[in-house]
Amino acid sequence: MRNFVVKRGDGAYRFGLLGSAFDDLFNSPWTSNFSNIMRTDIRDEEKHYALDVEVPGFTKDDIKISLENGYLTIEATKEESKENKDNQGNYLRRERHCGSCSRSFYIGDIKKENISANFKDGILTLTIPKENVEEVAAKKYIEIK
């Protein structure tokens, strides 16, 4: 199981790292191929966060990035070719990946104009500016009636 140490005010909670702590719990021989898609490294740089997202086998045109209600969502879709022949003849077997995958991160109230994305060699790099994050309030208790 992955272990993450999240300190108050370090911004890591903004990317939903706590939710991924349970990823390995659900891995099995039947789902392990899917866990390798869109692996993400998150770097804390001086003035921004940098996300390096692995999207092997996809092109820039296969990827869409959206921002809605504070969630940054990365979607990659690869359509299956309906061709049964290539230039040299008929296919006997086709093992090309087709389908879609997505990953979402909570980034809060950041404008899309301030986020940049670059794609090179199967790695999508997103740059997200650090905003003034309000300090998390002290723990409060809810009265049970």
CB-CB contact of 25 with 19 (8 Å): no
Cα-trace Rg, the chain: 19
Q: What is the pLDDT of residues 73-109, one digit of tens each?
A: 999 998 876 666 666 777 777 777 678 899 999 988 8
- Tell me which residue of 75, 81, 124 sits closest to 100, measured CA to CA: 75
Q: What is the pLDDT of residues 38-49, one digit of tens each?
A: 999 999 998 899
The pLDDT score that the predictor gives to residue 132 is 58
First to last CA, the chain: 37
CA distance 42 to 106: 13
Domain ranges of the chain: 38-129
Residue length of the chain:
145
pTM given for the model: 0.62
CA distance 91 to 93: 5
For domain 38-129, the CATH class is mainly beta
